[in-house]
Amino acid sequence: MKKRVWIKRTIASLTAGLMLAVSPAITALAEDLPYDTYNYDYRLNVVMTPAAYVPTRSVTGQDLGIDGFTEPQDLCVAPNGEIYVADTKNSRIVVLNHNMTEVVRIIDSFVRDGQEDGFRMPQGVCVSENEQLYVADTDNKRIVVLTPEGEFIKIIDNPQSEILEDDFDFTPLKVAVDYADRVYVIAKNAFEGILVFESNGQFTGYFGTIQVKISLWEKFWRKLASKEERSRQQLFIPTEFTGIDIDSDGFVYASNIDSDGVQGVRRLNPKGEDVILKGDKANLGGDIQIGTYGTYGGPSEFVDVVYREKGIYSLLDRKRGRIFTYDREGNLLYVFGGLGTQRGTFNTPVAIEVVDDQIIVLDAYQASILSFGETDYGALINDAVALRFDGDEALAIGKWEAVLKLDENNELANTGMGKAYLTAGDNAAAMKYLKLGMNRKYYSIAFKRYRNAILKDNLNLILTVVIAVILLAVVYQKFLKKKFSIGRKKKGAREGGLAQ
């Protein structure tokens, strides 16, 4: 028995070695990974899939030859590829090179009006397209704008407006900047939404307020309750945003913790309206099948979002340490990651970013940056979705075909194949794949074409049969009925009275 296992293992490792030798891309055996990769199918069952991303390395401060990070809270990738880490408890910003192999510089102080100034617990960091560094200097209650080298440019603090309460305490947590240098700030206790500042530092208003949902039942109880009771009830306040990112069109992606587990991310247009597409499942809340009790139960809690490219974005769940990736239409592409102490798992994930084809995640407790590389499977899905985003569905068919070889139940791939066949005019094949992909709308279109083609081809036969049947019926009625009905009782059931 033991020998058998040994042989099996040898074969497995040999094959793995061979595969590694043959393909330059990363190949992972499921048993080597500390987490499962899965997705939800049409009926919301969990379906295990091949790994989409595998842990490649983790970087701590010591690895880089500096003091370790202490509860770092945010990550940002600059346009030039450098990676900025908000090393919160050390009150500094650490800049790493593109490959995260060495420290480019550490910014822990700057000269402002001739005086030395520093950060206190900076929790957010962002580099704008114009290469300006924005730091959410949390405990100093201000946003510090610097050049990437650390030269002081300006400070945004103490927003003044009628819409703000008099005792409003501006405590910035996360910051993002769009192409017009508008600054979006998530601040503590700013339940009305994201604070927006013009490029001159002028506060312009709140943005993307999350509406509070009160059920009819809660309304009913509030009606019944007395004023005193009502004052002691919990307040209905909207959830705060947790993470923010801006896509290439200037739309703001903002994650939030949704206690219903339905929508944990918003895509806000310049007016602040949510324009995200929620997909067929109408769910952007991460895990759908969840336990109810314990620290591991309850809906996913998204702490950060990263817009990747071609409409794809990833969300980081701190509850179960998972990364959810959706496409522009709101389809869940893959879920991976987990909490734990093994290599490639998280303890307290706080921020997510993308560097080339790597996903990097900052863990506050482990004080390290974990990176994940895409596998063949993940790359194929990303490419196919990107091709669809560009409108090249015909080109995507090859990718989807390859995805199906790795994961034949992938509904997105089946739908993609079906759509391609539909465009090519092969309705029967399209029907097969669209049914496997559980895409009712397109299946119906394929079926309609298929059915109408059959009807058209056999119209002569069908009409002949119909006319023949009518003729037969007429003949039967006119000439034969009498003959057959001789001797049969004319009495129907009604006149029969008691039959017995």
Partner 1 sequence: MKELFSKDKWKYAFYTVSHPMDAYYEIRHRERGSVPIAIVLVILFSFTFSINRMSASFIVNDVDPLTVNALPELVAVFLLYGLFCVGNWSITCLMNGEGRLKDTAIAVGYALIPLIVCFNIGTVFSWFVTEDEGAFYTMIVGVGIAYGVIMALMGIMQIHNYTLAKTLVTIFLTFVAMFIIIFLALLLFDLLNQLYSFVHSIYQELIFRV
Footprint on this chain of partner 1 (rule: CB under 8 A): 43, 435, 440-441, 443-445, 447-448, 451, 492-494, 496-500
**Buried-state track 150-173, b at ≥16 Cβ within 10 A, e below 16:** bebeebbeebeeeebeeebebbbb
> Nearer to partner 1 by C-beta: 44 or 467?
44
Specify the residue, 21 or 498, whose C-beta has the smaller distance to partner 1.
Answer: 498
DSSP letter string over 164-180? S-TT----EEEEEE-TT
Dihedral angle sign, alpha carbons of residues 288, 291, 293, 294: negative
Residue holding tokens 């196919």?
A: 384
Please tell me the distance from the alpha carbon of residue 259 to that of residue 315, in angstroms, as a whole number.
Answer: 16
Q: β-strands 115-118, 142-146: how paired?
A: unpaired
Least CB distance from residue 129 to partner 1, whole Å?
45
Nearer to partner 1, 168 or 450 (CB): 450
Residue positions counted in the chain? 500
CB of 42 to partner 1, least distance (A): 9
Nearer to partner 1, 3 or 488 (CB): 488
Burial environment of residue 425 by CB neighbours within 10 A (0 to 12, 13 to 18, 19 or more) = exposed
Write the CA distances from 277 to 239, 266, 274, 332, integer angstroms. Answer: 20, 9, 9, 12
Two tokens, residue 397: 């068919």
Residue type, 7: I
Task: Rank residues 52 and 445 by Cβ distance to partner 1 and give the closer one.
Answer: 445
Question: Which is nearer to partner 1, 200 or 500 (by Cβ)?
Answer: 500
Q: Least CB distance from residue 487 to partner 1, whole Å? A: 17
Closest approach of partner 1 to the CB of residue 274, in Å = 28
Tell me which amino acid residue 261 is. G
Q: Shortest CA distance to 281 belongs to which of 330, 217, 232, 320?
A: 330
CB 139 within 8 A of CB 73: no
User: Closest distance between partner 1 and the C-beta of residue 434, in Å?
Assistant: 9
Residue 102: CB atoms within 10 A of its CB come to 11
Q: How far is the CB of 17 from partner 1 (least distance, A)?
A: 40
Q: How far is the CB of 45 from partner 1 (least distance, A)?
A: 9
Q: Shortest approach of partner 1 to residue 284 CB, angstroms?
A: 22
* Residue closer to partner 1 (CB basis): 59 or 422: 422
Is 188 or 440 the residue whose CB approaches partner 1 more closely?
A: 440
